[in-house]
């Protein structure tokens, strides 16, 4: 009997995420993922091309195209002053609606998205070797939640605490179509991507290789 019902059948569930953080696996359908990937290819054609931002003189391994507001370390502007000076694309209305639906899905609160109007998105592309160091999303003046969508190859996402880049943190596998939201007491939690898993993108998601991550935010800025 003890061998028939081994301890592996009663493995402990993964630890609960901190308050304000939510993971919804497989939230986007394959059809929705393909449609967003098509939009991504349009965004990268300009008026501001996709580029690797520089932090303290070093290029990030992740490449980024922005919507609504252009992000550069550690500020936002309407024009891509560190690329070609062009104004970035407007933030699309459909993404506002998607962000609101995401908050409802993540929290279970039908009114969670009522006051959420994201005005910028950082759209990051990760190749097989790209990583993202532990950091806080704190260049915004608003502390409204961050809504994150993943498409393509899975990754190891490290979600930590609000005080330090080191432990305690949790490593979470984010797959294609996954939704991750962090707000409230977790809004300024340190987080990063430690590894992309090549060859894990599902057939039909629109990406054969690499990973797209979209983070919708409220800047709290005018202009």
How many residues are given for the chain? 223
In a domain, 20, yes or no: no
Helix, strand, coil distribution of the chain in percent, nearest 5: 15, 30, 55
Q: In 3-state terms, what secondary structure has residue 177?
A: coil
Query: What's residue 223's pLDDT?
Result: 79
Task: Return the bridge partners of 146, or none.
Answer: 182
In a domain, 213, yes or no: yes
Contact by Cβ (8 Å): 213, 154: no
In a domain, 11, yes or no: no
Task: Return the bridge partners of 149, or none.
Answer: 179, 214
User: What whole-number distance in Å separates Cα of residue 140 and Cα of residue 71?
Assistant: 10
Contact by Cβ (8 Å): 178, 106: no
User: What whole-number distance in Å separates Cα of residue 170 and Cα of residue 156?
Assistant: 10
Contact by Cβ (8 Å): 76, 219: yes
In a domain, 4, yes or no: no
In a domain, 15, yes or no: no
Two tokens at 55? 């932090």
Contact by Cβ (8 Å): 217, 67: no
As to burial, measured by CB atoms within 10 angstroms (0-12 exposed, 13-18 middle, 19+ buried), residue 86 is: middle
Q: How many contiguous H segments (helices) and E segments (strands) does the chain have?
A: 2, 14
Q: Which CATH number characterizes residue 51's domain?
A: 2.60.120.590
Contact by Cβ (8 Å): 215, 146: yes
Per-residue confidence in pLDDT tens, the chain, 223 aa: 556 666 665 556 667 999 999 999 999 999 999 999 999 999 999 999 999 999 988 999 999 999 999 999 999 999 999 999 999 999 999 999 999 999 999 999 999 999 999 999 999 999 999 999 999 999 999 999 999 999 999 999 999 999 999 999 999 999 999 999 999 999 999 999 999 999 999 999 999 999 999 999 999 999 7
Two tokens at 58? 């070093």
Q: Which residues contact 55 (CB under 8 A, 6 or more apart)?
A: 73
Contact by Cβ (8 Å): 132, 53: no
pTM > 0.75: yes
User: What whole-number distance in Å separates Cα of residue 12 and Cα of residue 125?
Assistant: 34
H runs (alpha helix) in 5-134: 30-43, 93-107
Task: Return the bridge partners of 22, or none.
Answer: 181
Q: How many distinct structural domains can be found in the chain? A: 1
Range of the domain at 186: 26-217
């Amino acid at each position: 009997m003890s061998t028939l019902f081994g301890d592996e059948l009663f493995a402990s569930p993964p630890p609960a995420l901190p308050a304000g953080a939510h993971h919804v696996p497989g939230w986007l359908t394959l059809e929705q993922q393909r449609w967003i990937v098509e939009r991504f290819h349009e965004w990268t054609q300009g008026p501001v091309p996709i580029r690797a931002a520089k932090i303290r003189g070093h290029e990030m391994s992740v490449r980024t195209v922005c919507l609504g507001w252009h992000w550069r370390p550690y500020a936002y502007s309407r024009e891509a002053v560190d690329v070609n000076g062009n104004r970035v694309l407007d933030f699309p209305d459909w993404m506002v609606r998607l962000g609101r639906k995401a908050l409802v899905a993540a929290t279970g609160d039908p009114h969670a998205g009522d006051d959420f109007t994201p005005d910028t998105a950082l759209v990051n592309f990760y190749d097989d070797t790209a990583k993202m160091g532990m950091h806080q999303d704190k260049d915004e003046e608003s502390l409204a939640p961050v809504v994150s969508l993943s498409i393509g190859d899975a990754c190891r996402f490290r979600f930590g605490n609000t005080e330090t880049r080191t432990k305690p943190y949790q490593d979470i596998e984010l797959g294609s179509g996954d939704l991750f939201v962090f707000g409230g007491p977790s809004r300024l939690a340190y987080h990063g991507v430690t590894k992309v898993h090549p060859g894990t993108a599902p057939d039909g998601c629109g990406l054969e290789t690499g990973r797209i991550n979209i983070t919708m935010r409220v800047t709290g800025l005018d202009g």
